[in-house]
Copies of this chain bind each other. A is one copy, B any other.
Amino acid sequence: MIDIEKKMDSLITRLFPICRSITGAGVRKTLRIIGNEIPLTIYEVSSGTDVFDWTIPDEWNIKDAYVKDDKGERVIDFRSSNIHVVGYSIPFEGKLPLDELKDHLHTLPDQPNLIPYVTSYYEKRWGFCLSHNEYVKLIDGLYEVKIDATLEPGSLTYADLVIDGESDKEVLISTYICHPSMANNELSGPVVATYLATHLIGLKNRPYYTYRFVFVPETIGAVTYISKHLEHLKKKVVAGYVVTCVGDPGSFSYLQTRQENTLVDRVTLHVLKYSGQKYKVYPFIDRRSDERQYNAPGVALPVGSLMRTKYASYPEYHTSSDDLNFVTPEALNGSMEMYKRCIQVLESNRIYNTTVLCEPHLGKRGLYPTLSKKGSSTTVRMMKDLIAYSDGKNDLLWVADKVGCPIWRLSPLIKILVQSDILELIDD
């Protein structure tokens, strides 16, 4: 395991046991741990605050929960897995016969050995989740139920980090932090985002774009974040990603923005095309996560999502199997590398103009083999193509697609041609 993989592994291992929800101590603890790696700013928004069409709910915290049989044994025990309790369950204490208890139990009959992950944020209920195999073993009798939770006014917690670039145009990297012990969906997202941020902070040269990292509870957190920053985001964000489901060893997949042909779509498809790997592209209609908020009409930020196997399309999704065995450090790091490549392409994708009329004399600048023979080197050819297509209108991605090569093969040539006063960068 290389160094960065060890770091990612260590972070995800620390975060996994925490019982997160859309509010409460779990989110705070998670952000505190991530905050040890990168300089997050953490925000609290009080319960009851209106955020667009929504209201910040009461804060939920849980200490313990169980169902005991009539011998006093815990047949369902929060301490063994925090997903045994339906997320946002209201406090409860009482005794129920099995048939009444069953109204509060959730199982997956088709995956009988897995515990499902269930929440009820906006209707007050309580409930437990368990494997169907355990469920069928429950025998008639009176069960003692306790959910030692609180659901009281408090606040919703989120964090961000802005890494300044040369330009005030922003790239948004959003990830979510509201699922309890779920490794791929969701912890892979915050972990990759964290080390992507450390990578950008550590760059020798400031990036061109400003990068805004956002760690929010899914949906309500993204809505809250947008409501606090709407005008700024609308003015500045040129591209964005929701980072999630990036820890499994599956192939990459990309979920497009609503417009389906924005900069981030072009960049990501370019990277995937030249990755040499198999990948899948999903249209926006298949969205399920915070890209819903960012791309919503009236908000209209061009935010896509680069994942490995897409949420809801792998059997471990939202079950007790989405655990640390399912996620690998190699997959996490491979995902980060893919995001780094996307950022590299985004940063490279500028517009150039050829300043020389007709073809420039490459030879007098030492850029050309002086003896003309049959055949000419690929590099010279690429330089000529860059010059021929750089008309101050086509961006470099467009030119790379014409030339039929990845943008990162062109970037060193661009540098030479700019230094040679053949191309000039157009400030857009």
Q: Which residues of A contact B (CB under 8 A)?
A: 52-54, 106, 108, 116, 118-123, 125, 219, 222-223, 226-227, 230, 258, 284-285, 287, 292-293, 295-300, 312, 317-318, 353-354, 356-361, 363-364, 368, 370-374, 384-385, 387-392, 402-404
Contacts and interface: CB of A to CB of B under 8 A. Distances in A.
Contacts of A363: 122-123
Contacts of A122: 361, 363-364, 368, 370
Nearest to A353: B297
B120 A357 contact: no
A372 B119 CA distance: 6
Nearest to A392: B297
B371 A123 contact: yes
Copies of this chain, whole number: 3
B121 A372 contact: yes
Contacts of A298: 354, 356-357, 391
Contacts of A108: 374
Contact of A292 (B53, B359, B371, B390): B359
B223 A297 contact: no
A-B pairs with the 8 shortest C-beta distances? A123-B370, A297-B391, A297-B354, A122-B363, A223-B358, A293-B358, A53-B360, A52-B357
Contact of A357 (B299, B360, B364): B299
Nearest to A111: B374
A13 to B, nearest CB: 26
Contacts of A359: 53, 219, 223, 292-293, 296
Contact of A312 (B230, B361, B374): B374
Most buried by B among A120, A285, A295, A402: A285
A116 B356 contact: no
Contact of A118 (B119, B258, B373, B384): B373
A357 B226 contact: yes
A388 B120 contact: no
Given A258-B389, A359-B219, A354 B296 contact: yes
Most buried by B among A54, A121, A227: A54
Contacts of A402: 285
B390 A297 contact: yes
Nearest to A375: B312
Given A53-B356, A296-B359, A358-B296, A118 B372 contact: yes
A371 B116 contact: no
A226 B299 CA distance: 47
A361 B53 contact: yes
Contacts of A296: 354, 357-359, 387-388
A220 B388 CA distance: 17
B358 A222 contact: yes
A295 B118 CA distance: 59
Nearest to A284: B388
13 contacts: A52-B358, A53-B358, A54-B361, A116-B374, A122-B361, A122-B368, A222-B358, A223-B359, A258-B388, A285-B403, A296-B359, A312-B374, A317-B374
A312 B373 CA distance: 11
A222 B116 CA distance: 68
Contacts of A223: 358-359
A208 to B, nearest CB: 23
A137 to B, nearest CB: 22
Contacts of A392: 297
Nearest to A118: B373
A157 to B, nearest CB: 19
